[in-house]
Amino acid sequence: MKYSEFFIPTLKEVPSDAEIISHKLMIKAGMIKQSSAGIYSWLPLGLKVLKNIESIIREEQNNVGANEMLMPTIQSADLWIKSGRYDDYGKEMLRINDRSGREMLYGPTNEELITDIFQTYVTSYKELPKNLYHIQWKFRDELRPRFGVMRGREFLMKDNYSFDLNEDAAKISYNKMFKAYIKTFLRMGLTPISLRADTGPIGGNLSHEFQILANTGESTLYYDQELESLDPESLDPDKLQSYYAAVDDQHDPKKCPIAKEDLKISKGIEVGHIFYFGTKYSEKLNAYVQDHNGKQVNVHMGSYGIGVSRLVGALIEANHDDKGIKWPKSVAPFKLSIVNLMSDDLNCNTKSLEYYSYFMKENIDTLYDDRNCSIGKKLSDNDLIGTPIQIIIGKRDLAAGVIEIKDRILDKTEKIQIDDVKKVALKKLKS
């Protein structure tokens, strides 16, 4: 993509609305525009990141046999009345009447709908286990939306629902998902910490929340330091779940089972939550199958959420400096910037275009900064929008036979002999 053809309205000054760093940077980098409290438009650059995050999540979900589908944002109140949640959900649920006065709602979650879909089609234990998910916008009319997309009223969420014959089978499904979650966050360059979460009144139920480490996070985490260096190839959910990890109000230094030197304290942001809740919804919404003996049994369900739009903010909280965003390569909107410092110089143009077409052919999502503006603006814009690898082409360097390559994440630049530029850049991009 040529910068001159792309819509990235970067700002020098940020609207006074924004308070936390990720929100400021998202506005500054032209990723989002607020529409009303807790509701945002996603501009092209922001959308690219959102899509990159989505596709990592999608790949890891599909890898463990989850089925992607898409349910509507607007739901009829009927199923919610059946499940009893139409009253329970309170003011957080956005209620709407259609033209004939029927009660509708903008879905805050999808247990009711999915259970209804399941019970329509599945009648035998032979079809289990099943795991269905979708990535869809939700709406929760929060008491107080804040922190930009980290706590919006409208937000994009990946939610799955697992269906199993009994509790043991459901726990296998649960652990599969657990593992997929850890892998997903690791691929985004994040450090996930899983914590056993409170599940409320129904005993025997299981729930974990997933936080990622970020200095500016909302919660304070106490955890075994081994959780910081997980090997995705040898992930064992049971072992992982046995490590110590707690948020500050659950952490009691006297009862902490691990040695002080192994205990780490850090700030975290919650980006995912998984639950096993047994037959809670399958009973109310008549989701049952026939077992081996021909007996009707309610299916055991779990639900699994990842805050996709929240992750965009969380990733920035975890990866930035005073110049802007430092995207991990896996989610970066552009992997490579070619910064042409002198857009009316023939040599600079020729070289820039050569690299641009080369890296596009190599399937590298490349931003070619061909704008006719000052050097300072180009360099600072590319730093702000956080392209991890930048090739900086200037008249002076070209005359000296070199080109500069910047690693935005390490914040290091080096001068490379012109003949080596493609090779070096490719190597950095793949590392």
Which residue, 271 or 318, is less far from RNA as judged by CB?
A: 271
Distance of alpha carbon 310 from alpha carbon 218, whole angstroms: 13
CA-nearest of 161, 111, 173 to 133 is 161
The secondary structure of residue 173, as a DSSP letter, is: H
The contact pattern for RNA, residues 339-378, with x = CB under 7 A and - = no contact, is --xx-x-----------------------------xxxx-
Q: Is 7 in the site for RNA (CB under 7 A)?
A: no
* Residues of this chain, 36-75, that bind RNA according to CB under 7 A: 36-38
User: How many residues of this chain interact with RNA, rule: CB under 7 A?
Assistant: 62
- Are 99 and 132 in contact, with CB atoms under 8 Å apart? no
Q: 299 and 164 in contact (C-beta within 8 Å)?
A: yes
**In terms of C-beta distances under 8 Å and separation of at least 24 residues, what long-range contacts does 67-72 make, across chains too?**
67/130, 67/131, 67/132, 67/133, 68/133, 68/134, 68/135, 69/132, 69/133, 69/134, 70/134, 70/135, 70/136, 71/107, 71/110, 71/113, 71/114, 71/117, 71/134, 71/136, 72/107, 72/113
Q: How far is the CB of 120 from RNA (least distance, A)?
A: 26
Which residues within the stretch 257-296 sit at the binding site for RNA (CB under 7 A)?
Answer: 270-273
Site string for RNA, 309-328 (x = CB under 7 A): xx------------x-----
My answer on whether omega of the bond before 129 falls inside 30° of 0, hence cis, is: yes
In the complex, the smallest distance separating the C-beta of residue 265 from RNA, rounded to whole angstroms, is: 19
CB of 323 to RNA, least distance (A): 6
Judged by CB under 7 A, which stretch of 142-150, 165-173, 329-337, 353-361 contacts RNA?
142-150
In angstroms, rounded to a whole number, what is the distance separating the alpha carbons of residues 378 and 59? Answer: 34
- Which residue in the set 46, 217, 268, 307 belongs to the binding site for RNA (CB under 7 A)? 307
- State both tokens at 69: 């589908």
Altogether, the residues listed in the chain come to a count of 431
What is the H or E stretch that residue 356 is in?
helix 346-361
- Nearest distance, CB of residue 102 and RNA, angstroms: 25
Binding residue (CB under 7 A) for RNA from 174, 282, 381, 409: 381
Q: How far is the CB of 163 from RNA (least distance, A)?
A: 20
Main-chain dihedrals φ then ψ at residue 44, nearest 5 degrees: -50, -45
State the binding string over 217-256 for RNA (x if CB under 7 A, else -). -x--------------------------------------
Q: What residue ranges bind RNA (CB under 7 A)?
A: 10-17, 19-20, 28, 34, 36-38, 140, 142-147, 150-153, 155, 157, 209, 218, 270-273, 305-307, 309-310, 323, 341-342, 344, 374-377, 379-381, 383-384, 392-398, 404, 406, 413
